[in-house]
Amino acid sequence: MAEDESRISIAKTFRVKPKLRPTSNKATPTPESKFWKSFKIPKDIEFTPSKSVIYPITSIAFSPIAPHDFAATHSANISIFSGKTLEPKSTIASAFADSATSAAFRCDGKLLAAGDLTGTVHVFDAKSRTHLRRLKCHSAAARLVRYPRADDKFHLFSGGDDSVVKYWDVTTETCLFNLLGHKDYVRCGDASPVSDDMFASGSYDHKVRIWDVRVSNSGSVMELNHEKPVESVLYLPSGGLIATAGGNFVKIWDVIGGGKLLYSMESHNKTVTSLCIGKIGKESGEEAQQYRILSVSLDGYMKVFDYAKFKITHSMRFPNPLLSVGFSPDCSTRVIGTTNGTFYVGRRKTKLESDGPGDVVGLGDVEVDPERRVIRPTYFRYFHRGQNTKPSEGDYLITRPRKLKFAVHDKLLKKFRHKEALVAALSGKNTENVVAVMEELVARKKLLKCVSNLDEEELGLLLGFLQKYSTMPRYAGFLMRFTEKVVEMRADDIKSSDQLRGNIRNLKRDVEEEIRIQQSMQEIQGIISPMLRIAARR
């Protein structure tokens, strides 16, 4: 120990290091955004535009029963997709007289209901596609159809552009209650996950009403003012919170606490069209098995909102305006529908999937531990025994002093062979190192000396480098002036060589290009700056 202390190093040697890059938040994704990014288009199925539909996808619903098939409504069709393979399984087309809306699965996944723009609510067998019931009572388009979520299999509710919410007994095709109260189109709603008798509906009169069919005659039990036409209503899994979307924002309400507004998430730039519940399907980690709100908007963004922390944890951009979103209950599939009929299906690779079919399991047992041979001094391995021993927990590790690895240019700089160091850096691949070596040479006041000593070939190398990088914003401040100096110093050599003249031509072209860019950027700045000034005044 005393020996270690006494060994004082005098002066450390340093490598030539490039300037640090600014670290951005994107460089280190949080585990959560990693999770949301892990939803990728499966390789085996391609939702190419040709396969997708051409009409807006108005709603997406997942079956609550595995394998979690999902249904999507578009024009006068409902397409049902297999939850396992993500292939379109079947399409119900003939039943609808007009565009289909709002698909909804029953709690056992056996029945599928959907409305259409004529005001009819259709009920199908999800498997056989048999048209079982037609519930006709709405006088205008039925935009909202939902089954109760807990275990009520006999009722459903619907809302329509006639601003009435109806509660149906499906078996008899009768409307049990007409729930009146909305003053504009009812476009969305959701059933409570904990109670079969409660549901919420949102309307274009900016209100969200919560109904209880047990006290149906007295109108809505609660009224929430969203202050924008409500596009989507979502009961959060606890049943105590409601998320509403409308306009550019999503609001979270505490229903149990008397309809108090908890938070307003205002990060979308266009109308938020749909909400759904997402769940982080990871076993470990801080946020495992937590629920999130997925919101999609016409601005093409899907945002993941943590309603416990009131924070947006992930944000994803799509090239089209988004209309509907669905997330499978087993956390493996995420589907987004757009206005032009494209599906964005993302599937997460899970461990179950990778285990795959049974034959892989069979292979696992073949491998048997090879017999351990006793190592004798006659073996070469005898002399290496114990060298790979891993330290155990409590061991005090004495590490060998880390040896600095020096690059070629570092070694040459150490020997004060400046020009060779510059050439060595230039012939390397790393741009940052070249600039770092140049800066080091500046600090030694040797850079211009080096340039004057370069022979023609090396000068060509340098000019090639300068042409490539002198317009890059990171290095431009330094390299532009340096280029000027180089051209000035070696004008005669450049004139005499064809190749160097070629280099200079390229350089000139790049610089002109850059100047054009700068000019157009200045124009933009000229447009924007008065606007900013006006905005700042407000």
Partner 1 sequence: MITGGKSLVSSPPAFSNDAKRLLVCTGNTVSIFSTSTGLQISELEGHGAPVTSVIIVPASTPASKVLCHCWTTSLDGKIRLWDFMAPELIRTIDAGFPIHSMVIPSLLSQQMESKGKSPNLFAYIYIEAERQREGQPNSSCGQIRKCNLTKSRLAGGVSLAETHKPGCISISPSGKYIGICETHKLRIWEIPTKDSDNTVYKKIRLHHTKTFTTLAFHPTERVVAAGDVTGRILLWRGVGHRTFSIGDKFINGGLNKDAEERPGVRGNDDADSCTTWHWHSAEVNVLFFSSDGAYLFSGGREGVFVVWQLDTGKKKFLPRIGSPLLYFTNSSDPSLSSISCANNQIHLLRMPSMEISRSISGIKLPNSVSDIYEGSGSSVVFDHTVGFVAVPTDNYSVQFYSLFNDREISEVQICERNHQPGDEATVKVNLVALSRDGSTMGTVETRLPEEGIGGFVSLKFWACGSQNKDFSLSTVIYEPHREASVSSIAFHPDCHMAVTSSYGGDFKIWVCTHDTHLKDQMLQSSGWRCHAVGSYKKKPMTAAAFSADGSVLAVAAEKVVTLWDPDQNILVAVIGDTLEPIVTLSFVGKSTYLMSASRGSNPQLTLWSMSKLSISWSYKLHTEDVTCSGDSSTFAVLALLPKTSECVASTEATLQGFDGAILLFNVENPVPLATWFVSKAQGGRLGFIQKSPRLPDEVTDVKSAHDLLAYMDSNYEYVLFNPYGKQGHNQSITRWQNLSNLEEKEKIGYASIYGELTEFSVEKDQTHIPHIPYEKNWETLFSGPSHKLAPLTKLCLDFLESSLERRSVTVE
Quote the CA–CA distance of 325 and 318 in Å, as a whole number.
13
How wide is the angle at C-alpha 272 spanned by C-alphas 270 and 274, nearest 5°? Answer: 150
In the complex, minimum distance from the CB of residue 17 to partner 1, in angstroms, rounded to a whole number: 6
Count of residues of this chain found to bind partner 1 when the rule CB under 8 A is applied:
35
| Smallest distance, partner 1 to C-beta of residue 215, A | 45
11 belongs to the binding site for partner 1 (CB under 8 A):
yes
Binder among 13, 217, 218, 389 for partner 1 (CB under 8 A)? 13
Single residue of 440, 454, 500, 503 touching partner 1 by CB under 8 A:
440
Q: Name the residue nearer to partner 1 (CB basis): 286 or 512.
A: 286
Q: How far is the CB of 406 from partner 1 (least distance, A)?
A: 11
| Of 76, 176, 448, 511, the one binding partner 1 by CB under 8 A | 448
Nearer to partner 1, 407 or 448 (CB): 448
Binder of partner 1 out of 147, 235, 327, 482 (CB under 8 A): 482
Q: Is 430 helix (H, G, I), strand (E, B) or coil?
A: coil
Nearer to partner 1, 223 or 286 (CB): 286
Candidates 376, 403, 445, 533; binder of partner 1 (CB under 8 A) is: 445
Alpha helices per DSSP H over 405-472: 408-414, 418-427, 431-443, 447-453, 456-469
Do residues 447 and 486 lie in contact, with contact meaning Cβ atoms separated by under 8 Å?
no
Q: Of 223-231, 315-323, 386-394, 478-486, which part binds partner 1 (CB under 8 A)? A: 478-486
Rule CB under 8 A: say whether 30 interacts with partner 1.
Answer: yes
Is 442 an interacting residue with respect to partner 1 (CB under 8 A)? yes
3-state secondary structure of 169: strand
**Is 202 in contact with 196 (CB distance < 8 Å)?**
no
Task: Tell me the HSE value of 42 on the side-chain side, using a 13 A CA sphere.
Answer: 18
Question: How far apart are CB 465 and partner 1 at their closest, in Å?
Answer: 15
Question: Strands 249-254 and 241-246: what pairing?
Answer: antiparallel
What mask of x and - would describe binding to partner 1 in positions 276 to 315, judged by CB under 8 A?
Answer: ---------xx-----------------------------
Name 461's bridge partners: none
Sign of CA dihedral 463, 469, 471, 473: negative
Interface residue with partner 1 among 40, 485, 508, 509 (CB under 8 A) is 485
> Which one of the spans 25-33, 48-56, 342-350, 382-390 is the region binding partner 1 (CB under 8 A)?
25-33
Report the residue number, 87 or 286, with the smaller CB distance to partner 1: 286
What's the closest the beta carbon of residue 94 comes to partner 1, in angstroms?
Answer: 52
List Cβ neighbours of 450 (8 Å cut-off, separation of 6 or more): 418, 419, 422, 441
Q: Looking at 34, 51, 134, 444, which residue binds partner 1 (CB under 8 A)?
A: 444
CB-wise, 8 or 368, nearer to partner 1?
A: 8
Question: For residue 7, what are its two tokens?
Answer: 């060994």
Least separation in angstroms between residue 407's CB and partner 1 is 14
Q: Out of 242, 447, 454, 504, name the contact with partner 1 by CB under 8 A.
A: 447
The Cα–Cα gap between 126 and 110 comes to 5
- Whether the CB-CB separation of 344 and 336 falls below 8 Å is answered with yes
- Spatial CA neighbour of 245 closest among 260, 261, 264: 264
Q: Which of 1, 4, 10, 531 binds partner 1 (CB under 8 A)?
A: 10
481 binds partner 1 (CB under 8 A): yes
Contact pattern for partner 1 over residues 367 through 406, marking x by CB under 8 A: ----------------------------------------
Name the one range near partner 1 by CB under 8 A: 28-36, 76-84, 114-122, 274-282: 28-36
Nearer to partner 1, 224 or 486 (CB): 486
The answer to whether residues 145 and 102 touch, using CB atoms and an 8 Å cutoff, is: yes
Strand ranges inside 240-372, DSSP E: 241-246, 249-254, 260-265, 272-279, 291-297, 301-306, 311-317, 322-327, 333-338, 343-347
Q: Which is nearer to partner 1, 363 or 536 (CB)?
A: 536
- Six token digits for residue 280: 């982080």
HSE, side-chain direction, 13 A CA sphere, residue 285? 14
Sequence-distant (6+) residues with CB within 8 A of 101 are 58, 59, 73, 114, 115, 116, 117, 141, 142, 143, 144, 145
Among 197, 254, 306, 439, binds partner 1 (CB under 8 A): 439
Minimum CB distance to partner 1 smaller for 483 or for 503: 483
Residue entry with tokens 């600014």: 22
Q: Which of 414, 501, 508, 516 binds partner 1 (CB under 8 A)?
A: 414
Residue choice 4, 12, 48, 151 for contact with partner 1 (CB under 8 A): 12
Residue type, 363: L
Sign of CA pseudo-dihedral 20, 21, 22, 23: negative
Q: Which of 47, 406, 469, 478 binds partner 1 (CB under 8 A)?
A: 478
Query: C-beta of 462: minimal distance to partner 1 in Å?
Result: 14
Is residue 258 left, alpha or beta, with left meaning phi > 0 and alpha meaning psi from -120 to 50? Answer: left
| Integer Cα distance of 327 and 344 in angstroms | 12
- Which residues form the interface with partner 1 (CB under 8 A)? 6-8, 10-15, 17, 19-20, 23, 28, 30-31, 285-286, 414, 438-448, 477-478, 481-482, 485
